[in-house]
Amino acid sequence: MVDVPLTVRVQREAFDVAAETARLTEGRTDVGAVVTFTGLCRSEGGELAALELEHYPGMAEAEIERTARAAIERWPLLGVTAVHRHGRIAPGEPIVLVITTSSHRVAAFEAAEFLMDFLKTRAPFWKKEERHDGTTGGWVDARDHDDAAAARWEK
């Protein structure tokens, strides 16, 4: 197995992008590219009060790690960090963070996209909407285009 620094966390609290990035670059001179992706909660035109994110503890971490290890096998990465939040998340707040580092940009860009595509379709998280009028908007439906985005890597 390639020895690449890999951090996977599932947590309720917010994350610090700068601190997480520094963890992958500090003291190194071989990193030429850092790609960070942060997914935020949208208000859906002002209707959404919050998302409640349910997850499967244990499997969520394990599945993100399996996806990250697949990325490490596929691209010449120098580090991977993936953090996914659970619990109640308000519009504007971050939900997910993916950071990839490599010597050159292509590997970091592609691996970050790969990680997000698989994280959306394979990591056991489910979003439930809470509306401003106090009603529940119900569980968010999985989207076909997310499946299609993940499928394009299977070649």
Partner 1 sequence: MKIRYFAWVRERIGKAEEVVDPPPEVATTTDLLLWLKSRGEEYDWALERPEVIRVACDQVHAAPGTPLAGVSEVALFPPMTGG
> Which residues would be at the binding site for partner 1 (CB under 8 A)?
39, 53-56, 58-60, 62-63, 84, 95-96, 116, 119-128, 139-142, 146
Give the integer Cα–Cα distance in Å for 10 and 3. Answer: 22
DSSP 143: -
Closest approach, Cβ 139 to partner 1, in A, equals 5
Q: Which amino acid would we find at residue 84?
A: H
Give the integer Cα–Cα distance in Å for 102 and 123. Answer: 24
Q: Which is nearer to partner 1, 52 or 76 (CB)?
A: 52
CB within 8 Å of 27: residues ≥ 6 apart: none
- What torsion do the CA atoms of 39, 43, 48, 50 make, to the nearest 10 degrees? 40
Contact 48, 42 (CB under 8 A): yes
Closest approach, Cβ 101 to partner 1, in A, equals 20
Closest approach, Cβ 103 to partner 1, in A, equals 27
Closest approach, Cβ 146 to partner 1, in A, equals 8
Q: Which is nearer to partner 1, 24 or 86 (CB)?
A: 86
